Amino acid sequence: MHPSGQVTYLVDRNINYTNVCTINCQFCSFYRPPGHDETYTQTYEQISERIVELEAIGGSRILMQGGVNPELPMSWYTDLLRHLRTHHPSIDLDCFSPIEIEGLAEVCGMSTLDVLTALKEAGMHGLPGGGAEMLVDDVRKDVSPKKGAPANWLRVMGEAQSLGLTTSATNVIGFGEDNSARIEHMRRIRALQDDSLEHHSTGFTSFIAWPVQLEVNSFGRRNRGQNKHVLGAGSTEYLRHVAISRLFLDNVEHIQASWPTMGLAIAQMALLGGADDAGSTMMEENVVSASGTSKLDASEIELQSAIVRAGFTPVRRNSDYDHLETEQVVPNRVDLAAPPPAITS
């Protein structure tokens, strides 16, 4: 699919605008229930300050997600998007996962399609792929029983694609599911992609998978010492999953390597096993890191270096995978292999 030897990456920032959530996913260590002492909701000005820091390093996208916060009305979201679009017109606003869209629709008494339409009109560029985890009913009911059924996530994504919003698909593995469940997740992604490409000419830009992080959340504590050998997924299993996803998802153009959960070294190997994108610098991340992963930011030079040392050419992109002007801060692979210059007197 990508014979040029180029691997893309994105300079962006994650912004978690609130940690208030009522869904109580057992593998999430980030959320706090309403009324908890540690809850927060950022102001428009605080969010804008974070985007200014991204603009200073030439970033092009924010990925903004939080929880299902019943205290925030629809106007809070639309006014936020208009504020950000006015003050940061060059930044793509990819905001609010399908579960947040569902929650907002319930709070406001609107359909999810009407919510998405209002958010797009206010300036939203795309919908992040978070919240998919495992699109298999029995697995989903076990790990996040309050979260909507797989069909709900797929429906919201289909609606977003019908509106021309940029979308991506995600997958978390390691809940104790078997391989057939993992394939069923991909099958549902591929089926929606076929339908969206046929009817809307737009679909998922990419597929991103990673293993569940079990260190400090209730799902990990609940299962500690019980069937421990089937929980989580190591590097070999992850790399196999990447390779299978590249073969199976023949209608999804890009496969992303997940360095935040696997580390840059394993992400390099994923580039040799089917992935063509190295993800993003992130600049800030709170959800996965709350589950025990330590390093969750990478500079542009780190991503470029990882790509080059894997044997590829790094290319900066935007949220739609359009290639952007790329300052080569790391020598390309030809330069690394070249003999040293001759010494002259």
The letter for the amino acid at 98 is P
Share of the chain above pLDDT 70, in %: 81
Residues 45-64: tens digit of each pLDDT: 999 999 999 999 999 999 99
Residues 173-223: tens digit of each pLDDT: 999 999 999 999 999 999 999 999 999 999 999 999 999 876 544 444 444
Taking 50 as the threshold, does the pLDDT of residue 290 lie above it? no
Question: Which residues are paired to 154 by β-bridges?
Answer: none
**What's residue 31's pLDDT?**
61
Q: In the chain, how long is the greatest CA-to-CA distance?
A: 80
- Cα-to-chain-centroid distance, residue 204: 12
CATH fold of the domain at 6-332: TIM Barrel (3.20.20)
pLDDT band at 226 (very low <50, low <70, confident <90, very high): low
3-state secondary structure at position 209: strand
- CB burial of 273-307 (b: ≥16 within 10 Å; e: otherwise) equals bbbbbbbbbbbbbebbbbbebeebebebebbbbbb
Question: Which residues are paired to 172 by β-bridges?
Answer: 210
Predicted structure pTM score: 0.86
Question: Degrees (nearest 5) of the Cα angle 52, 325, 282?
Answer: 45
Residues 256-285: tens digit of each pLDDT: 998 988 899 999 999 999 999 999 988 764
Sign of CA dihedral 247, 252, 256, 258: negative
Region 100-107: mean pLDDT is 88
